[in-house]
Amino acid sequence: MSSEADEPVKTICPYCGVGCGIRVREGEERGEMSFMPWGDAPVNEGSVCIKGGAATQVVDHEDRLTEPLIKEDGEFREATWDEALSRVVDEMESIRERHGPDGMGFFGSSKTFNEENYLLQKLARRYGTNQIDNCTRMCHASTVWALRTSLGMGAMTNSMADLEDSADVLWIQGANPGEQHPIANSQYFRQAVLEGATVIQVDPHANKTTESFDIEGTERHMHLQLEPGTDIPLLNVVLKTILERHEEEPDAGWIDEEFVEERTKGFEDLKQTLADFDKEAAAEECGVPLEDIERAAEKYAMGTDAAIFTGMGMSQHTCGVDNVQNEINLALLTGNLGKPGAGVNPLRGQNNVQGTCDVGAMPNVLPGYQLVDDDEARESVEEVWGFEIPAEPGLTNVEISHAIGDTVHGLYVMGENPIMSEPDGNATEQRFREDLGFLVVQDIFMTETAELADVVLPATTWAERDGTVTNTDRRVQRMRGVHKVHENTRHDLDILSEVGTRLFDEGFDFDGPETVFEELREVCPIMHGMSYDALGEEGLHWPCYEPGDEGDPFLYEEEFETEDGLGRIEGVVHQEPKETPDEEYPLVLTTARLEEQYNTGTMSRRSPTLSRQQPENFVDVHPNDAERYGIEDGDEVRLRSRRGEITVRADVTEAIKEGVVWTTPHFAAASANRLTNDVLDERSKIPEYKAAAAEIEVEIES
Ligand code: SF4
């Protein structure tokens, strides 16, 4: 480890994708450590939100897993590492013998580092399967798909800093940075507004982002509060308005004709798609006045540099790819790509969800988004790895889960908690409990998933190890660890290294994360120019193709990274959520996260500071619905869908639209994911977390 006992280490906050730098100082006693600000950290310059400030609280938590565990007769018993790893390797070999390599699935983790996810995906591929995936499948798989196929790279086109300096319009759709990316919101977006930028927020829920732009003396914030699942019609109204106004005033700059002509294809397709589009009917469907949408269209189109930010309100739909494609259409039509202060920018959820994808922990791509079914790409990686990589893309993580007991018989889960994170949690739990032959979980706490495991491997936390993570704007940064808290825990990388070596003899024996990074950069063109030394304290944005490259804060200045160098415009049409309200379930259920909690709550629920702020789940109910159901603010209610029910406190608020209820996935006993629908976007396979049919019952039986 890189620390001296009395010298704080500079590392990165383990929570969201903003990638704030923090410092960790060790105390005199083993495990004692405290948070310190890192004043000149590149992304946040010392500021942190409540999660970042509380991050060290879970490192020495009493619930830490400290010894390997093996389940026997339904009970865990402590085991030696040798016993536990032998069991893992024996089971994996046996599954491969009986069912072939696709009998196993591997889940990487956005809470772990680039090197660790790189090694896990290499392990899966050496085992003989591309069935490796990570939680991006739950958050931005559709965004990555649309960006990669239409522009070339599955990531933010710009960086937070270049937006702050240049953007004069921020279009924020289906994202709530005030809640989920607090430092990006306060340090970059709010600052841009104070300097004159206009914000157009598109969200069914009024939230902390809405409040944060209510700045005295400025009237540069519009909130289009649409019905859940109507993002395509809303954007089609915007696009049609721009097309119409361009016809009327061809020189007014509604469309960037030169950009469309020289750098895109598909414009005619968009025009055709919208030829008979009825704006009035669409605005009514969205529940937003037509003139408000038209005004927003004008502000965006007339902006000099207009940046789109997109979140899970867009991506977590069965039409997630099309939702994001329509944002790309808007940016391409108006020439808002390939320059600072513009672009289409997904705000990534976890601190390394971008990196986990970049290093190839996905079933269809190798490191650097090289397609696994591209012979040339595969061969170039095979040359370094020295073994053959399967050519067929594997199943995605929800598909792997659905295939349990059918084609999938074993799962290797590193730092993920699918029992809580997957949709239709009751069915997921049943499959894991009853149909899965073998489950190994590598984690820091006994998660809801680890409880069902056959073997549990105790790992170390973010604060105890070295490696790299990649934030939402493609900045690769180093994390530096202090000493281990518990003697018999092991770093994720060491565990994978040993499992790999026991299974395959060679290819997995590394003496630390830097040597893994050196191999990663050999097979990952977009990171080829990086090294630990070059990353230093500032980090580097990818793409960084050759040593000495400074990395690109914005992409596509000259051309897009598509085969023909052109950006792809493609008209899209509205598709309703797969489950809509009916007599039995008359409400629309939508879900989102809280600032003070983090995904499945494995870490945040154990932080005293964060739990004090948000100790339990709740559901937002509109006052008219509350009156109809006889609900008082604070009542306990039962929220039901076709898949299950949870009991939560009602929060009666006008922040949500009538007919819509809103709740969160963070709390084990009452997670929104007991209710959500596990239907998938056809292409990207992301589940539809954002819209399902639900009902509320007020009477709670004792
Ligand atoms: Fe951590 Fe995100 Fe908060 Fe920054 S904004 S301190 S990265 S949780």
pLDDT of residue 201: 95
Q: How far, in Å, from the CA of 20 to the mean position of ligand 1?
A: 6
pLDDT of residue 543: 94
Nearest CA to ligand 1 atom 4: 20
Mean model confidence pLDDT for the chain: 93
Name every protein residue with a CB atom under 6 angstroms from any ligand 1 atom: 13, 15-16, 18-20, 44, 48-49, 51-52, 181-183
Span 343-395, pLDDT tens digits: 999 998 789 989 999 999 999 999 999 999 999 999 999 999 999 999 999 99
pLDDT of residue 6: 60
pLDDT of residue 217: 66
Mean pLDDT throughout 555-582?
95
What contacts 133, CB < 8 A, 6 or more positions away?
A: 105, 106, 107, 108, 361, 362, 363, 394, 395, 396, 397, 400
Mean pLDDT throughout 631-644?
95
Atom of ligand 1 at shortest range from CA of 184 = 5
The share of the chain scoring above pLDDT 90, in percent, equals: 82
Pocket test for ligand 1, best of 12, 16, 475 (most atoms within 8 A of CB): 16
| Range in 71-80, 109-118, 152-161 the model is least confident about | 152-161
Q: How far, in Å, from the CA of 174 to the mean position of ligand 1?
A: 19
- CA–CA distance, 567 with 259 (Å, rounded to integer): 10
Span 459-489, pLDDT tens digits: 999 999 999 999 999 999 999 999 999 999 9
| Range in 215-229, 421-435, 440-454 the model is least confident about | 215-229
- Residue 574 has a CB neighbour count (10 Å cut-off) of 18
| Range in 129-133, 476-480, 669-673 the model is least confident about | 669-673
Mean pLDDT throughout 248-270?
97
Residues in the chain: 702
Mean pLDDT throughout 560-580?
95
Span 401-424, pLDDT tens digits: 999 999 999 999 999 999 999 999
pLDDT of residue 589: 95
Nearest CA to ligand 1 atom 5: 183
Atom of ligand 1 at shortest range from CA of 16 = 2
Beta-bridged to residue 512, according to DSSP, are none
pLDDT band at 599 (very low <50, low <70, confident <90, very high): confident
- Residue 274 has a CB neighbour count (10 Å cut-off) of 20
Task: Give me the torsion for CA of 57, 61, 66, 72, rounded to 10°.
Answer: -130
pLDDT of residue 620: 95
Instruction: Copy the structure tokens of residue 638.
Output: 């039962």
pLDDT band at 2 (very low <50, low <70, confident <90, very high): very low
Span 303-353, pLDDT tens digits: 999 999 999 899 999 999 999 999 999 999 999 999 999 999 999 878 998
Q: What DSSP assignment string belongs to 580-613? A: ---SSS-EEEEE---TT--TT-TTGGG-HHHHHH
Q: How far, in Å, from the CA of 189 to the mean position of ligand 1?
A: 15
308 or 669: which leads in pLDDT: 308
Atom of ligand 1 at shortest range from CA of 50 = 3
Beta-bridged to residue 160, according to DSSP, are none
> Nearest-CA neighbor of 229 among 286, 302, 293?
286
Span 24-42, pLDDT tens digits: 999 888 888 999 999 999 9
What residue ranges define each of the domains in the chain, with the CATH number in brackets? 9-58 (2.20.25), 69-137+354-517 (3.40.50.740), 141-346 (3.40.228.10), 587-697 (2.40.40.20)
Buried b (16+ CB within 10 A) or exposed e, 354-384: bbbbbbbbbbbbbbbbbebeeeebbeebeee
pLDDT for 573 beyond 60: yes
Q: How far, in Å, from the CA of 322 to the mean position of ligand 1?
A: 29
Atom of ligand 1 at shortest range from CA of 22 = 6
Q: H or E stretch including 258? A: helix 257-263
Mean pLDDT throughout 669-688?
92
pLDDT for 219 beyond 80: no
Mean pLDDT throughout 680-694?
93
pLDDT of residue 702: 47
